[in-house]
A = this chain, B = another copy of it.
Amino acid sequence: MIVGQVVGNVVSTRKYEELQGYKLLVIQVGETRLVAADELGAGVGETVLVTKGQAVKAALRKPAPIDALVVGIVDGEFSP
């Protein structure tokens, strides 16, 4: 998984029906950006945990062409 920060969201009217109901968040991860679907209600400025690829499927209610999903809101990173 990767940790990134929510910086905005993508609006798309013409899209596959299977994407309806997901918020499409723009996530900043270091120098790059990706778009992840979200059902947890993550807001701009929040730090999130994103799962990519085939593993996303395990969290979807029904098949959808989603390759990145917000799987957690990050409270913090700790190192002793």
What is the number of residues of chain A that contact chain B, defined by CB distance less than 8 Å?
A: 53
Contact A18 B75 (CB under 8 A): no
0/1 per residue, A6-46, Cβ < 8 Å to B? 01111111111011000010100010111111001000100
Contact A65 B75 (CB under 8 A): no
- In whole angstroms, how far apart are the Cα atoms of A1 and B12 in the complex? 13
Contact A36 B72 (CB under 8 A): no
Contact A67 B55 (CB under 8 A): yes
- In whole angstroms, how far apart are the Cα atoms of A11 and B37 in the complex? 21
- In whole angstroms, how far apart are the Cα atoms of A72 and B65 in the complex? 10
Contact A35 B3 (CB under 8 A): yes
User: Which residues of B lie under 8 Å from residue A7 when comparing CB positions?
Assistant: 79
